[in-house]
Structure 1
Amino acid sequence: MQRSPETEKIEKHLDVIGILFMVMAGFSLLTVLFLPIHFMMFEAFTNHFPRQVNGPDPRRMIQDMQPFIYIVYAMIGVVSLIIGAVMLATGINLRRRRHFTFCVIGSALICPSFPLGTALGVWSLLTLYNKHTRPLFAERTSLDDADFLD
């Protein structure tokens, strides 16, 4: 089956975009590894606040906020894991040419991650909505029944 030059170009773009999504997923998952280090630095820093003679005790204020701080760290970790998993799945699906709708949603979800995520998200959305892209996903879907031949 002969492919047009435009289709070849789109396939290369989808491969590169898929790899970049996987790299961004790696960065997102590295955030989870950085959180304990950041928390230890925060704890070490807050133990050395100077106390004013007639002012409030900063250490006591931090101790009062500690449950909220733990919740914020946990939320950042969970959100980073979810976003990293979605980006990884989007990158894999872009390279496999599967789940077009999921790839569009994943591309839109990365857009608020300024500046790299915005550039990657817009580029992937423009590529996905190219008239030559949708048949690549449909072609792969129609072959799913014949995957045992691979």
Structure 2
Amino acid sequence: MQRSLETEKIEKHLDVIGILFMVMAGFSLLTVVFIPFHFMLFQSFTDHFPRQANGPDPRRMIQDMQPFIYIVYAMIGLFSLFFGAILLAAGINIRRRRHFTFCVVGSALICTSFPLGTALGIWSLLTLLNKQTRPLFEQRTDLGDADFLD
């Protein structure tokens, strides 16, 4: 079966988009590694806050906020893991040409990561919503269980 030049171009775009999704997922997951480092830096700075004679003790204020700070760090870590996992799954599915709707949702979600994610998300949405792209995803799903051989 002869493929058109436009179809080959779209397939190359989808491959590049899938790889870039995986790179962005790696950056998101890398954020989780820096959370403990940031926390240690934060702790070291709070030990050296100057105290005014009549003012409140900054160390005491930080100690009072510590539970809230732990919750914020945990939420940032969980969000980064979730965001990275979604982007990784979307990138893999874009490259495999599977789960079209999930890929569109992942493309919309990456738009929230300004500025690189926004550019990548718009490009991926424009490519995915092209009328010639949808049949590429449907061809892959028609194979059923046999596409594990790729």
**Residues 148 and 126 of structure 1: CA distance in aligned 2, closer, same or farther (over 3 Å):** closer
Question: Which structure 2 residues correspond to residues 98-137 of structure 1 after superposition, within 5 A?
Answer: 98-137=98-137
- 1 CA distance for matches of 2:43 and 2:111? 33
CA offsets 1:22-54 (integer angstroms, 9 cap, x no match): 000000000000000000000000011011011
Q: Secondary structure at the match of 2:132?
A: coil
CA separation in 1, counterparts of 2:95 and 2:148?
19
Aligned length: 150
Matched residue, 2:10: 10
Segments of structure 2 that go 5 or more residues without pairing to the other structure are none
Q: How does 1:1-150 map to 2 (within 5 A)?
A: 1-147=1-147
Q: Which runs of 4+ in 1 moved over 4 A?
A: none
Give TM-score, length-normalised by structure 2: 0.97
Q: TM-score, normalised by structure 1?
A: 0.97
Q: Matched residues in 1 for 2:17 and 2:149: separation?
A: 27
**Structure 1 residues 30 and 145: alpha-carbon distance in aligned structure 2, compared to 1, 3 A threshold:** closer
Q: Deviations over 1:114-144 (max 9, x none)?
A: 0000000000000000011000000001012
Partners of 1:30 and 1:136 in 2: how far apart?
Answer: 32
Identity %: 83
Which residue identity lines up with residue 42 of structure 1 in the other structure? F
CA distance in 2, matches of 1:124, 1:88: 14
1:37-87 deviations in whole A, cap 9, x for unaligned? 000000000011011011111111111100000000000000000000000
